Amino acid sequence: MDESDFEGTLVLEQLAEVGKLEEFFDAIDADDVARATSLMRRARIDASTIALVVRKIEESDPEH
């Protein structure tokens, strides 16, 4: 998946499959990138997609 294709759908679907979607949103709301990353790894999301999601999280956070 590259950035032009990224909509989050696959990430959210994989998190939902392992029952971690709500926890993921909680981690995002708390600006807990480490927790969000851990949850994505549990959902077996590939490393390049995790990096893309982390970058998008950090871009949306004015403190980063």
pLDDT at 40: 96
Chain centre to alpha carbon of residue 53: 5
pLDDT digits (tens, 9 = 90+) for 2-61: 454 455 688 999 999 999 999 999 999 998 999 999 999 999 999 999 999 999 888 876
Which residues have C-beta within 8 Å of that of residue 40, sequence separation ≥ 6?
11, 14, 15, 24, 49, 50, 53
Helix and strand element counts for the chain (H, E): 4, 0
| pTM beyond cutoff 0.75 | yes
Let me know: does 52 contact 3? Beta carbons within 8 Å.
yes
Return the biggest CA–CA distance within the chain: 31
pLDDT at 57: 84
